[in-house]
Chains A and B, each alone.
Chain A
């Protein structure tokens, strides 16, 4: 005989397992994707999101300053004109955790976003477009930081 509490507990464990394997996409979309935000490199982030290996593409754009005076506030833009985009990611390679922001795109918004990020040191920044079929396209740009924004 199983109590209701045990049943619920098992259900939660199974859901957790499914989410971690990426077999439960809707659940993964709704919950905060912690592993992706703890990943150190572009490849690890994409793996955590269940996307394929990244390919450089001219259709993805990354915008930002060449030299940022203050690493605590670096304006970056990321976007693409390609149809069928699922997510736009902004990454800073040399930050303690590479992924800065992840935008889930719908048909009602343009796949182009601007925000401000913190950068610990000069680094390559990436804009990644994850397509509906799981392909990942990226563009990168180097941003030099003269004053770091992480720690102090």
Chain B
């Protein structure tokens, strides 16, 4: 199981800015190891964000997203106390879901 994500959601007016820091190697599949063999790609493919259980955003990522990816988005109509959930799935089928409360 991968390390937990760090999610921070801050309400401002009638919307909330969500910042997510995921912990993932994001291997591009372009790099070669010391023996000259290509390191196979290993990256997050699907990201889903929910607001109080309702899916508000999904994303698909390629290997060109940086290691330990950062993501920022804005949820409309979210207020303090609401739950923001973020989950991801990588190309090896591993996944991780975390939740944060809007402050």
Which residues of A are in contact with B by a Cβ distance under 8 Å?
29, 32-33, 36-37, 72-75, 77, 92, 95-97, 99-110, 112-120, 149-152
Give the nearest-CB partner of B72 in chain A.
A114
| Majority DSSP secondary structure for residues of B touching A | strand
Q: How far is the CA of A110 from the CA of B69 in the complex (A)?
A: 20
Chain A neighbourhood of B64, CB < 8 A: 92, 95, 97, 99-101, 117-119, 150
Give the nearest-CB partner of B63 in chain A.
A97
Which residues of B are in contact with A by a Cβ distance under 8 Å?
15, 26, 28, 30-32, 45-46, 49, 51, 54-67, 69-77
Chain B neighbourhood of A149, CB < 8 A: 66
Q: How far is the CA of A152 from the CA of B74 in the complex (A)?
A: 35
Q: Given A37, A72, A74, which contacts B67 in the complex, CB threshold below 8 Å? A: A72
Q: Given B55, B59, B75, B76, which contacts A103 in the complex, CB threshold below 8 Å? A: B59
A-B contacts, 15 listed (Cβ < 8 Å): A33-B60, A72-B67, A73-B67, A97-B63, A100-B61, A103-B58, A104-B57, A104-B59, A108-B57, A110-B74, A114-B71, A114-B72, A116-B69, A117-B65, A151-B30
Chain B neighbourhood of A37, CB < 8 A: 60, 62-63
Chain B neighbourhood of A92, CB < 8 A: 64
Chain A neighbourhood of B45, CB < 8 A: 32
Q: Find out whether the CB atom of A32 lies under 8 angstroms from the CB atom of B60.
A: yes
Q: Find out whether the CB atom of B72 lies under 8 angstroms from the CB atom of A106.
A: no
Q: Find out whether the CB atom of A99 lies under 8 angstroms from the CB atom of B74.
A: no
Q: How far is the CA of A29 from the CA of B15 in the complex (A)?
A: 26
Chain A neighbourhood of B55, CB < 8 A: 106
Rounded to whole Å, the gap between the CB of A57 and the closest CB of chain B is 21
Central interface residue in B61, B64, B75, by most chain A CB within 10 Å = B64
Central interface residue in B58, B70, B73, by most chain A CB within 10 Å = B73
Given known contacts A32-B45, A109-B73, A113-B71, is B28 in contact with A118 (CB within 8 Å)? yes
Rounded to whole Å, the gap between the CB of A42 and the closest CB of chain B is 14
Q: Find out whether the CB atom of A151 lies under 8 angstroms from the CB atom of B31.
A: yes
Q: Find out whether the CB atom of B65 lies under 8 angstroms from the CB atom of A109.
A: no
Given known contacts A72-B66, A117-B65, is B30 in contact with A101 (CB within 8 Å)? no
Give the nearest-CB partner of B75 in chain A.
A109
